[in-house]
Amino acid sequence: MSFIQYSMVQRSADRYNCSRAQNSLENEHRRAEIARQESLQTPQSLKAEQYSLKGYRNLGKSGLRVSNLGLGTWVTFGSQISDEVAEEMVTLAYESGVNIFDTAEVYCNGKSEIILGKILKKKDWRRSSYIVTTKIFWGGKAETEKGLSRKHIIEGLKGCLERLQLDYVDVVFANKSDPRTPMEEIVRAFTFVINQGWALYWATSRWSTMEIMEAYSVARQFNLVPPIAEQTEYNFFQRDKVELQMPEMYHKIGLGLMTWSPLAGGFLTGKYDDGVPLYSRASIKGYSWLKDRILGEEGRRQQVLLRMIAPIAEKLCCSLAQLAIAWCLKNENVHCVLLGASSVDQLYEDLQAVQVVPRLTPAVVSEINRILGNKPTKNKDYTQR
């Protein structure tokens, strides 16, 4: 059993056995402490081997070890949830073995970074024990406060570090490609911030494979630092890029893959069957596009498919959300799946998805593909995004 799974089992005992007597809970804590002490006595080489089995993977062919699940802050931190709930969620994630926290300068106009930074400073965890990633592109209203010019990459990252109260981020992402800025300038700017110690790696988000290859070629030509990963959307209904294009990028240049929106903004949980709930993401001001997508013709068609998949989740003794996340994790080309949750209970449930992955046999995966009817094929004529 990996560390992340062990932590979740312990959390389950602490959170859901409320009906037990107090002495039973104390015994549970005592057993957990004994197990923890025993683990500390395990040889370091053996512990490292155990951790590498399921819970953590290298991000691409870099040496950066990331947990299979990460915690994202888009929409939630600084908007949908209170600062107190955000702290509880970060704590739950960290104690469950999650080691990567993702944010961006544009999330809630920088407020997400501020909240995450305050939490990390308050917790005083060893900086070497977790990974912080942020993204650069939309930093402000001025023309010079957006894009991937050398000016904005440097100034934008400095702003991120100030809001996060950190000396460096582990990975800085280019949150969108920028056709108005020469690729050499972009790669040189990210190399500069890495050489300055403000970031350890840089990566791309929502770039096409052609743009990534151009950045890689420029880096190799001028002895600069190439990107180590791409961050993109991946779920039941968004598959082509991850399943058709990204495996080739890993084999060609060792590019890692982080994915987001495994639940399609909450759509794959099934909570939109009867419309848009009052406090759901689709009801938030500024997210009418999500509401329109859910209530549109395509959204209704996808809801029918989700109802057909729901019995599979029941047979596997998991929720539809857990099945959707486990399905993403089952893809060996995905190194980390970013979760977004609006409550501690929801995050706890989503983290349990790691236990569902072994239940996804080839027969189960084949049945899901049969229902969805959208498994990409190599000869499919798709447009690069």
Angle at which helices 183-195 and 150-164 cross, to 10°: 40
What three-state secondary structure class fits 337? strand
Cα–Cα dist 364/145, whole Å:
48
256: left (phi over 0), alpha (psi -120 to 50) or beta: beta
Inter-residue contact 110 to 80 (CB < 8 Å): no
Inter-residue contact 340 to 72 (CB < 8 Å): yes
Which candidate in 107, 130, 234, 348 is catalytic? 107
CB-based contacts of 159, cutoff 8 Å, min separation 6? 105, 110, 139
Cα–Cα dist 117/159, whole Å:
12
Catalytic (active site) residue 107: yes
Residue of 365, 374, 299 whose CA lies nearest to 329 = 365
Tokens of 10: 């312990």
Tokens of 181: 């800025």
State the DSSP H helix or E strand holding residue 169, giving kind and residue range, or none if neither: strand 169-174
Q: What residue ranges in 302-350 does DSSP mark as E strands?
A: 336-339
Half-sphere exposure of residue 104: CA atoms within 13 angstroms, side-chain side: 23
Rg (CA), the chain: 21
**So which residues are the catalytic ones?**
107
